[in-house]
Structure 1
Amino acid sequence: MQVSKDTALMVIDVQNGMFLEEYPIHEDEKLLNRINLLLAKARESRIPVIYVQHNEEKGTPLETHTPGWEIHSAIAPAAKDLIIQKYVPDSFHETNLQEKLTSKGIKKLVLSGLQTDYCIDATCRRAVELGYEVTIVKDAHSTCGQDSRSAEQIIDEYNQSFAERVNLLEASEIEFN
């Protein structure tokens, strides 16, 4: 699928604190590689890249301004990339994301990152409500297992749900131009 200049790539919550042993992100290395592929394609085509960075309270893995809060070095932002700070799963809630997208003429969003069942889902729902055309990168979002469900089961379930309301493509299928 070719994606036009009114598109932005969003990388949500790919932060060091999400890669701790107690949070075994499904296929973490593959996730980072696929996001890097998307970043290379977007930057080569001069598509805006927006990182979303989650902030949590003291003593948590994503405590603001701690090593866990930092964006993972494998997918580090470039100087021109935008970084949005958020405090809840929805990347639009009480942030300047909507304002920044409007100022850049962005109408389409390509979403990647963590976690499938929290921040990816919440941001997708809100973006659709706001009228954006959304593409979820099917193999560039992840989570960890919870309760009796494996991460793979959760990802598959959400991909089925995403496919009912937004575009769902693999990283290799996305071409920015």
Structure 2
Amino acid sequence: MQKTALLVIDVQNAMFDESCPIYDGEGLLKNLQVLINQARSANVPVFFVQHNDEEFKFGTPPWEIHSSIAPNAGEVVIQKHTPDSFHETELHEKLKAAQIQHLVVAGNQTEYCVDTTIRRAFSLGYHVTLVKDAHRTWDSDSLSAKQIMDHHNQVLGNAFATLKETEEIQFSGEELVI
């Protein structure tokens, strides 16, 4: 049995700004609500990561975690300053203290924070499941957001993570049933 946690990365208000919203933000929030509710119901810990930089200034409305998936009292919120949720944060120590060996990962931004965090989690020895329909990004100059997401699902799924759709995730008694 591997003790599991749900890791929700950078789902902050700025990403849903109507002037430049993340690809299919409503779909992302819907999938995250399902995952979070299911994890909480099964007593699987939910860890939130919050990015901090010039756009995401600590304590400002754009920096806040989106209200539809806001952390409950007592849930861990990790503050980070780089795409790697483990770099110069307490994430690894908090996961170890909770005896977590398996991470179910969702959130933003696919090609930066999600990708980097999954690769780092893998290198630290965690078993990782990427929820392939619960991470998002924006279009780039050369690729659509959907192409970026599909590409990262393929790359990460080939070497660093197991891929599952939201509907395939079933938490039970602090672990993921696959």
Report the TM-score when normalising by structure 1. 0.94
- For 1:23 and 1:120, the matched residues in 2 are separated by 20
Tell me what 1:92 maps to. Answer: 86
Correspondences of 1:39-50 after superposition (within 5 Å):
39-50=36-47
- For 2:168 and 2:24, the matched residues in 1 are separated by 19
Tell me what 1:152 maps to. Answer: 146
Tell me which amino acid in the other structure corresponds to 2:12.
Q
Tell me which amino acid in the other structure corresponds to 1:90.
D
CA contact (8 A) 1:5 1:47 kept: no
Secondary structure of 1:56's partner? Answer: coil
Tell me what 1:33 maps to. Answer: 30
Gaps of 5+ in 1: none
- For 2:35 and 2:142, the matched residues in 1 are separated by 32
The CA deviation string for residues 110-136 of structure 1, in whole angstroms up to 9 with x for no partner, is: 000000000000000000000000000
Correspondences of 1:122-133 after superposition (within 5 Å):
122-133=116-127
Greater alpha carbon shift after TM alignment, 5-14 vs 33-42: 5-14
Secondary structure of 2:44's partner? Answer: coil
Secondary structure of 2:94's partner? Answer: helix
Alignment pair present for 1:115 and 2:100: no
- For 1:5 and 1:45, the matched residues in 2 are separated by 14
* Residue 5 of structure 1: how far off its partner (Å): 6.1
* Residue 80 of structure 1: how far off its partner (Å): 2.3
CA contact (8 A) 1:12 1:114 kept: yes
Tell me which amino acid in the other structure corresponds to 2:57.
E
Tell me which amino acid in the other structure corresponds to 2:68.
A
Tell me what 2:58 maps to. Answer: 64
- From 168, 172, 175, the counterpart of 2:170: 175
Secondary structure of 1:105's partner? Answer: coil
| Percent identity of paired positions between Structure 1 and Structure 2 | 53
- For 1:23 and 1:144, the matched residues in 2 are separated by 9
- For 1:121 and 1:22, the matched residues in 2 are separated by 25
Tell me which amino acid in the other structure corresponds to 1:136.
L
List 4+ stretches of structure 1 deviating above 6 A.
none
* Residue 63 of structure 1: how far off its partner (Å): 1.4
* Residue 20 of structure 1: how far off its partner (Å): 1.5
Give RMSD over aligned pairs.
1.0
Secondary structure of 1:51's partner? Answer: strand
Gaps of 5+ in 2: 173-178
Alignment pair present for 1:135 and 2:129: yes
Tell me what 1:9 maps to. Answer: 6
* Residue 22 of structure 1: how far off its partner (Å): 4.2
How many correspondences in the alignment? Answer: 171
Tell me what 2:175 maps to. Answer: none
- For 1:145 and 1:125, the matched residues in 2 are separated by 22
The CA deviation string for residues 31-59 of structure 1, in whole angstroms up to 9 with x for no partner, is: 000000000110000000000000013xx
Tell me what 1:80 maps to. Answer: 74
CA contact (8 A) 2:2 2:101 kept: no
Tell me which amino acid in the other structure corresponds to 2:45.
P
